[in-house]
A and B are shown apart, each in its own frame.
Chain A
């Protein structure tokens, strides 16, 4: 929302900090209106840390990552504001030429669909070598040797021969391994992985996640893992930020978020996942539909679906603030909610207060 939201995000002192995003906003101007995709996101990431960015379609998680990579279309199609401080300097207004030397070398990205992110008419080898040669002074033999080494690193057997093949000759899991090899080729400081395993089968997902974890730990690469799957978050991340309608609504260390969720949306998400543990029975879905991003957000975007809402929720978006005073909560636990869920209500998935009714919409909206 305002500088208060940004200053509230917790920062480790000095050089531990790798990325600080403050009040990021992205709007897309369309012929028939404006899409309010990202509406004031503040994020923080330490070196070598893994942050999970969780949200459903339309939550703005992918647009946020594209904004960090400066891959959004230029003005006036996309309007971007806010600060992106990466490794000590604000890259939000860096000229494209300088940005190019950061992209790929310092910040790399792995996309969801490895088929559309590899060039179908180029051999795997050419594509991996291109990444290396764009940023490093190496001859072609050196690039080839490094490419083969990278393929071996991501567990592709018979690497020299595989470099001669085309993307369509690879399975989905193999292609995603190639994408990871390319992304980590230059040992970037930050890897943004946007739903890297969503298109893969579960057993292949397990392989790829294991690989990502092992390699980024070895190279000390920080990771922003974008996903809709809270199971993947639980397996992979140290900290989580939950997004809804282009806002971070809750952020906490992973263990804390699952043990002690505070935002009604987070609680709703946790209850709606079909899971292998716990009791079998009816799931408790979040009622209603995702928000319409074509209107400028007023109040809390989750209010129409929220069982905890107060009158103020319809009018004012709460800032993302530390829980602080709340008993038993970690200091780095931030929530943007006027009426956070109380611990005994988490299991119930609804407010447990005598006579409480969610505030009806104001007349203007009804």
Chain B
């Protein structure tokens, strides 16, 4: 394995979905720009948090990374190979190395399959190992994710939400992937169980040397897991940096608003906090605003007296200081 390139490199990735009208004469009347020009590198062993609200394109981007959604344009290179330039067999082999953990542990497991069979299914699909090897591997995986050996013969309905998510993680790990994409793995779980899964993800990253992308809707969960953070808004990355820098000194007005919106479980701090309440909803990705997509809700633009550039020019992701990228014309004015 050569390793002078990042494990995953996205170049100007766009995923657009057509909007069609008419039953017999289907015609395309528009497109939803779910992902609209994303550049992202993920280094080996790194854990990247991908944060955004509904409609930001974070899930579609995650699906594109695991080759479940084909980009409309742009390239996705995994370990130096362009994923969509490969033939089907090669791509299938590549898929072993990139796995996904889904949000809803209730919907992502087959209710008629035992836990053991669910975990072994990826091995079956890729025809790996003899039956005895698979049984051994399942038992090993149960241990890794903190489940009991007896869980192997149970069905999903016999498990709690937290246990099901552990099964989902074991399934994703069964092929020994290099990269795991976890899409909101804890948001369907109760607080006390969330923490167990967040800790498990952290341990796995450390012990198995996994590279991971954690998709989340708020900045609090990823803070505990990720080394680097990318904040998305309407299909684009608006800010990217090491986690510590982002929380200490956010530079994009959207990130700042997002941070201030997350309630802190401390009444004293809450009473003192200055909150930025954004007006309105996220615009539709079918008709994103011109210029900077955030300009319709931006508090900084208001403060600066509605500069022309915000609504006319698309800001590019630029480096403000080392390793801290931001897509805002006026990021210097934030502080």
- Inter-chain CA distance A269–B192, complex, in Å, is 6
- Inter-chain CA distance A243–B84, complex, in Å, is 52
Residues 267-296 of chain A, each 1 if its beta carbon lies under 8 Å from chain B, else 0: 011111111110011111111011000000
Q: Which residues of A contact B190 (CB under 8 A)?
A: 56-57, 228, 290
Residues 123-164 of chain B, each 1 if its beta carbon lies under 8 Å from chain A, else 0: 000000000000000000000000000000000000010110
- Contacts A174-B281, A202-B262 given: A255-B267 contact, CB under 8 Å? yes
> For the side of the interface on B, what is the size category?
35 or more
Within 8 Å by CB of A203, from B53, B220, B270, lies B53
Within 8 Å by CB of B282, from A201, A210, A281, lies A201
B184 at the A/B interface (Cβ < 8 Å)? no
A173 at the A/B interface (Cβ < 8 Å)? yes
Residue of A234, A274, A280 most packed against chain B (CB within 10 A): A274
Q: Which residues of B contact A274 (CB under 8 A)?
A: 194-195, 198, 220-221, 223-224
Within 8 Å by CB of A284, from B195, B260, B282, lies B195
Residues 183-206 of chain A, each 1 if its beta carbon lies under 8 Å from chain B, else 0: 000000000000000000111111
B258 at the A/B interface (Cβ < 8 Å)? yes
Of all chain A residues, the one with the shortest Cβ separation from B269 is A277
Q: Which residues of A contact B282 (CB under 8 A)?
A: 201
Within 8 Å by CB of B258, from A202, A273, A275, A285, lies A202
B265 at the A/B interface (Cβ < 8 Å)? yes
Within 8 Å by CB of A258, from B258, B265, B275, B281, lies B265
Q: Which residues of A contact B257 (CB under 8 A)?
A: 203
- Contacts A56-B191, A210-B277, A281-B224 given: A201-B266 contact, CB under 8 Å? no
B111 at the A/B interface (Cβ < 8 Å)? no
Of all chain A residues, the one with the shortest Cβ separation from B265 is A230
- Inter-chain CA distance A171–B279, complex, in Å, is 13
- Inter-chain CA distance A269–B265, complex, in Å, is 10
B312 at the A/B interface (Cβ < 8 Å)? no
Q: How far is the CB of A30 from the nearest CB of chain B, in Å? A: 16
> For the side of the interface on A, what is the size category?
35 or more
B267 touches A234 (CB 8 A): yes
B223 touches A272 (CB 8 A): no
What 16 new A-B contacts, CB under 8 Å, besides A231-B265, A275-B265? A56-B191, A57-B190, A202-B53, A203-B277, A206-B278, A234-B267, A235-B267, A254-B267, A273-B195, A274-B220, A276-B247, A276-B259, A277-B264, A277-B269, A280-B244, A282-B224
Listed by A's residue number, 24 A-B pairs whose Cβ atoms lie within 8 Å are A56-B191, A203-B53, A203-B257, A203-B258, A203-B277, A204-B53, A206-B261, A234-B263, A235-B270, A254-B267, A268-B192, A269-B192, A273-B195, A273-B220, A275-B223, A276-B247, A280-B244, A281-B224, A282-B202, A285-B196, A285-B198, A285-B199, A286-B195, A290-B160
Residues in A lying within 8 Å of B, measured CB to CB: 56-57, 171, 173-174, 201-207, 209-210, 228-235, 254-255, 258-259, 268-277, 280-287, 289-290
